[in-house]
Amino acid sequence: MNLEPPSRRPTTRRVLRYIAAGLTALIILLAIKFIALVAFDHLGRKSMDENKFEQAKTYFSLNLIANFFDPWQPHFNTGVAQFKLHDFQAAEKQFRLALDQAPDDKVCMVSLNLAVTLETRGDGLKAMGDLQGAQQLYGEASMIATKTECRSNSGSSNSSSSDSKSNSEPNQKDIKERIEKKKQEVAQDTQDMSDQPMEDTPQTEDKKLQDLKDTNSDAEQAKQSHQDKNGASGPGKQEQEPQW
């Protein structure tokens, strides 16, 4: 007589227990993640209010990891902090990432912040004498500011959400006009330079050295003026200020 071992297949009740335990663990992990997101966001905003931008960037960056709830927001907030730190290339990258994931009612704000960042990078290149690079950045900034569809600032809006300090969108009209003016100025400067007659005689080494010193001095003064204009002087006091 052959005796077969009893079946070891789990019962339906045991399977349900495993499923319930897994779901419970998942819910707990999601709750912990949500609490951490809220805490880091709060600490980041508090640091921004205190002009501790490096600290704010650190807190906002922590929310970039596995953010399933509001993935565009930490990219945007990190970009604002990097703008304040004058790390404009890094800010541009974060605003582009935010724009790819932003909900419809936030596309305007993110796009205009990206345009202002490109504009500011253009200002830096212009100050260093790179008119071609500045014109390229102004052109892209102008295109973004023009194509972005924004609600009218004068119209009624229910956009008083927790991720914005203002109930209105950034002023699209002012941004477009300012960038377009700069683009035209650079184009005129480039044209003026091309119209200048070429020297018939080669420059002496002393003249080349003096010209280089003059150029570096002018660029340094322009750069310092640009930084003073765009320094952390408080909301509303700068010509170019990110909205958030």
pLDDT per residue over 211-228, tens digit each? 555 655 555 555 455 445
User: Mapping DSSP to helix (H, G, I), strand (E, B) and coil, where does residue 107 land?
Assistant: helix
- In this structure, the dihedral spanned by the alpha carbons of residues 28, 31, 33 and 35, taken in order and rounded to 10 degrees, is -140
Q: Is the pLDDT of residue 152 over 90?
A: no
Per-residue pLDDT tens digits for 175-201: 999 999 999 999 998 887 776 665 544
Angle at 239 between CA 238 and CA 242, to 5 degrees: 75
> Is residue 105's pLDDT more than 80?
yes
Q: Is the dihedral of CA 224, 230, 234, 239 positive or negative?
A: positive
Higher-pLDDT residue of 21 and 55 is 55
Distance between CA 98 and CA 62 in Å, rounded? 15
Q: How confident is the model at residue 8 (pLDDT cuts 50, 70, 90)?
A: low
Question: How far is residue 206's CA from residue 154's CA, in Å, rounded to a whole number?
Answer: 59
State the sign of the Cα–Cα–Cα–Cα dihedral 148, 94, 36, 84. negative
Give the confidence band of 40 by pLDDT, cuts at 50, 70, 90. confident
pLDDT, residue 160, reads 34
Query: In the prediction, which pLDDT does 35 show?
Result: 78
Percent pLDDT > 70 in the chain is 65
Of 114-118, 141-145, 159-163, which gets the smallest average pLDDT?
159-163
Q: Is a pLDDT exceeding 80 seen at residue 154?
A: no
Within 8 A by CB and 6+ apart from 223, the residues are 124, 127, 128
By percentage, how much of the chain surpasses pLDDT 90?
Answer: 45
CB atoms within 10 A of CB 183: 20
Lowest mean pLDDT among 81-85, 110-114, 130-134, 153-157: 153-157
What pLDDT score does 217 carry? 59
Q: Residue 138 has what pLDDT?
A: 96
What's residue 236's pLDDT? 35
* Averaged pLDDT score across all residues of the chain: 77
- Residue pair 40/62 in contact (Cβ under 8 Å)? The answer is yes
What letter does residue 199 receive in the DSSP assignment? P
Of 51, 56, 52, 50, which Cα lies nearest the Cα of 74? 56
Q: Does pLDDT of 71 surpass 50?
A: yes
Q: Which residue has the higher pLDDT, 28 or 49?
A: 49
pTM: 0.67
